[in-house]
Structure 1
Amino acid sequence: MKKILITGAAGQIGTELTTYLQSIYGDDQVIASGRHEELHFNAIYEKLDVLNAGQLVEVIRRHRVDSVIHLAAILSAKGESDPEALWQINMNGLYNVLEAAKATSVSVFTPSSIAAFGPETPLDRTPQVTIQRPRTIYGISKVAGELLCDYYYHHFDVDTRGVRFPGLISHEALPGGGTTDYAVHIFYKAIETGGFICDLEPKTFLDMMYMPDALRAIVELMEASPTKLAHRNAYNITAMSFSPEILAKEIQKHLPNFKMAYDINPVKQAIADAWPNSLDDGCARTDWGWKPEYDLPAMTTHMLKVLGAKLRPASTP
């Protein structure tokens, strides 16, 4: 990658990815974009709607972009309340990005998700290639997106790449309506109030990843030799698998008085129950050398340290 356009740059991933890519490729080589006026980016910014195909091509050509990181999307839990809006953004937006890539010869990274799996999928160490029958509109859009990216690669030689992200945990930006959001909010509440009400059942295992690993995975996959990418648009990647009660116990190692309670959200619980407990990411490890750096203890220690400094006012002398 040399000149990079990020769509959906104001989201949970894009907020951190913009700065991360600037640190690698240079401030002038990264263009952040979104549907709203720029508010907080210390970067080149374009107000850009992925549903506007012509605008996409114009921005790519004007900035001489060679790679698009396409993050604009509506997430799982939010999508169940407005399936039509999700389909518009997630599918028609992706179609426009791929059409723009075909016209301008840029490469495209599009994240898929563990939501691409369903209740018929093996739950433990879910294989790279397995049955995918999701029951959420978000998951359906992710399966269709994987296949659509494959189609543009095979039929139009567009350099498309992607991973199936697990739940992502970040101390920079709050998530925006996903099923795994509890694993971020719990850290804020642990520091601010000493307690948290979880909307998933205590023993609900889900794959998770700390954001620094997710950002690194995007770059490593996009920089990998195309000859090594057997599963180009749908690599399983993971770092850790845990349940709410296990995460609470890990936090209690640092904050012994932390308390967890439960108020189950039936929509989110049904979604989580259909997702894998853990993924097999052996293909990503073999094909392009994927390896996470953060496990649960390391992630918890770092999250509490960084958020503690951010949320607790400095003591006065």
Structure 2
Amino acid sequence: MKSILVTGASGQIGSELVAKLQDVYGEDNVVATDIRKSPDAAQQSAGPFEILDVTDGKRMFEIAKQYDVDTVIHLAALLSARAEENPQLAWNLNMTGLVNGLEVARQLDCQFFTPSSIAAFGPSTPKSGTPQDTLQRPNTIYGVTKVSGELLCDYYHSKFGVDTRGVRFPGLISYVTPPGGGTTDYAVEIYYHAVQYGNYTSFIGKGTYMDMMYMPDALDAIVQLMEADGDKLVHRNAFNITAMSVAPEDIESAIQELMPGFAVSYAVDPVRQAIADSWPSSIDSSCAEMEWGFRPRYDLGEMTKDMLLKLHRKLQVKTS
């Protein structure tokens, strides 16, 4: 990767990935794009930024051509809970944007990355130790777009030779950018509420296990996969990756190790709970480990220590 175009650069992943890519490849070599620039000054890119609606394929091509990009990292998408509120918008944004990104990569001979998700699985998928290759019949529009995207990326690789790559992200936890409408967002909110209020009411029920990952590990995974030897990649577009399988009470216990008075109560959101129940409780990431050396650095305890430390600083809340 030498000159990189990032779509959805103001989102949860993009706002942190752009900064990491700038550190690795240089500020001027990362072109951040989004439909609007983030109002949060802390998220403003020091390098080039362009306004882009990803459903506008002509504009995407023009930006990529202007900056002579050799890599497209396509992150723009409507996430699971928000997508269920407006399925037509989700399909249009998620799929049209993806096709446009793939076309840019095909026409300009770029590497291409887009994330899939554990949402690509469904209620008929094995829930525990979900394998890399398995039945995928999601019952959410977000999941449908992710499965479709996986297949489309495979097609562009086999049909046109585009160097497509991707991972199935679990829930991502970060202190930098607020949640953006995902089902796993409780795992971000719980830390914010622990620092700000000392308690949290979870919209996901007790005992609901889902895979999670701390954002630094997710960012490392993207760079590592894009730099990996393509000849060694078998699965290429939808690697299972995970760092931990946790339920709300597990995060509560980890926080209580550092904040003994913290407590979680429950007011389950039926829509998001149904989505969570359709997803795996744990996935098998062994293919990513074998094919490109994926290995997360943070477990629940280490992530919790870092999240609470960083959030106390960010929110300017003194530790007791």
Same fold (TM over 0.5): yes
Verify the 8 A CA contact 2:118 2:280 in the aligned structure 1: yes
Give the AA of the match of 1:3: S
- The partner residue of 1:153 within 133, 154, 157 is 157
Q: Give the distance between the partners of 1:31 and 1:247, measured in 2 at CA.
A: 36
Over 6 Å off, 4+ runs: none
Q: Which moved further from structure 2: 289-298 or 38-47?
A: 38-47
Per the TM alignment, residue 49 of structure 1 is displaced from its structure 2 partner at its CA by 1.2
Matches within 5 A, 1:237-248: 237-248=241-252
Q: Which amino acid aligns with 1:145?
A: G
- Alignment partner, residue 206 of structure 1: 210
Contact 1:38–1:47 (8 Å) recurs in 2: no
Letter in 2 for 1:96: N
Aligned match of 2:58: 54
Q: 2:236: which partner in 1?
A: 232
Aligned to 1:106: 110
TM-score, scaled relative to structure 2: 0.97
Deviation at 1:308, TM superposition (A): 1.0
Aligned partners of 1:102 and 1:156 also within 8 Å: yes
Q: Once the 2 structures are TM-superposed, how far is the Cα of residue 33 of structure 1 from its aligned partner?
A: 0.3
Partner of 1:2: 2
Query: Please, what is the CA RMSD of the aligned residues?
Result: 1.0
Deviation at 1:102, TM superposition (A): 1.1
Counterpart code for 2:243: A
Instruction: Tell whether the 8 Å contact from 2:4 to 2:73 is kept in structure 1 after alignment.
Output: yes
Measure, in 2, the Cα distance between the counterparts of 1:42 and 1:173. Answer: 17
Q: Distance in 1 between matches of 2:47 and 2:199?
A: 37
Residues 85-131 of structure 1: per-residue CA shift (max 9 Å, x gap):
10011001101111111111111100000000001111111000000
Give the secondary-structure state (helix, strand or coil) at the position aligned to 2:184.
Answer: coil
Residues 312 and 318 in structure 2, CA contact (< 8 A), matched pair in contact too: no
Aligned to 1:293: 297
Q: Secondary structure at the match of 1:145?
A: helix
Q: 1:183 aligns with which of 178, 183, 187?
A: 187
Task: Describe the superposition over 1:20-60 as per-residue Cα deviations: whole angstroms up to 9, x where unpaired.
Answer: 00110011110100011465222210111111111111111
Q: Is the 8 A contact 2:195 2:317 kept in 1?
A: no
Number of residue-to-residue matches in the alignment: 315
Q: Which residue of 2 aligns with 1:95?
A: 99
Aligned residue runs from structure 1 range 1-317, under 5 A: 1-37=1-37, 39=39, 40-313=44-317
Give the direction of change, closer, same or farther, for the CA distance of 1:93–1:210 in structure 2 (3 Å limit).
same
Q: Which runs of 5+ in 2 are unaligned?
A: none
Matched to 1:69, the amino acid is I
Q: Give, as a single letter, the amino acid of the residue that structure 2 aligns with 1:213.
A: D
**Separation (CA, whole Å) in 2 of partners of 1:79 and 1:310:** 30
Structure 1 residue 313 displacement after superposition = 4.6
**Maintained 8 Å contact 1:68/1:107:** yes
Q: 2:101 and 2:288 mapped to 1: Cα distance?
A: 25
Q: Which amino acid in structure 2 is aligned with residue 98 of structure 1? A: L
Asked if structure 2 preserves the Cα contact closer than 8 Å seen for 1:38 and 1:45, the reply is no
Give the gaps of 5 or more residues in structure 1: none
Partner Cα separation in structure 2 for residue 313 and residue 284 of structure 1 = 39
1: CA distance between counterparts of 2:146 and 2:92?
A: 13
